[in-house]
Amino acid sequence: MCTCMEEGVACVGCPLPQLPTDEYSNLSISQEGADCSGITVDVACNIMGDDETACQDYLPSNSGECTVEVKYSYMAKQVAPPQNAILTSVMRVRSDSYHGSPRNFVENRWGDNLTPTSKASYEMSSWEGEFVNFCLRDVIPSTTFEFKTDVCTTTARYELIQGADLVTQLPAAPVSTASAAPLVPSDGETSDALKEGDGGTPGGGGTSAAGGGGASTVRFLTVFAIGGMLMTW
């Protein structure tokens, strides 16, 4: 049941409204749960080796630059309150991903209490590469990143959609050759840390190969409000 006690107080059990950061936002965030406070999530896409160029802004100068490796980055953070938020799952879905879909992250943390104290916090980040031929002008599958606790599901959805003015400037796609070797994208690392507020990291923290592999059955939100980064193909 969705209830709002008074103006200025967070609603209980209601998806939070999200406002777009600009007219052509490629990122939308949605939340659902009893207490979605203290959560920050983000998905970004940049040209590999060039963090200043977002994927949606990339313009090849010639046909030889049509296919490039892009870098998808994921971040999630939970701070108290709420206290005693239990991590249920963290996963990414992108239907044509070289690295598989869905892809799980920090599975060793699933079931952990992320905010055991009033000053506790948890943060994780990861990245992975994919090759994209921008000159094909195809519809690229969206990327969904879901951070789920026992009290809230937060979903970030990134769409690699370029503006019409940029698409008209794309060069012709090069002729493909059947004998060309398949391109293998980079696989990044996942880092995470659980802190109680005094700099300590109970339960450990560290770096591992990105993702956890395997498919899990998880209910995904079917409605995404268009928006930007929440205080977050």
Q: What is the distance between the alpha carbons of residues 72 and 69, in angstroms, rounded to a whole number?
A: 10
Give residue-wise pLDDT tens across range 123-151: 999 999 999 999 987 778 999 999 999 99
> What is the rounded radius of gyration, in angstroms, for the C-alpha atoms of the chain?
19
> In the prediction, which pLDDT does 225 show?
36
150-165 per-position pLDDT tens digit = 999 999 999 999 888 8
Indicate whether 184 pLDDT > 90: yes
* Residue 208 confidence (pLDDT): 59
CA–CA distance, 90 with 218 (Å, rounded to integer):
10
pLDDT at 214: 40
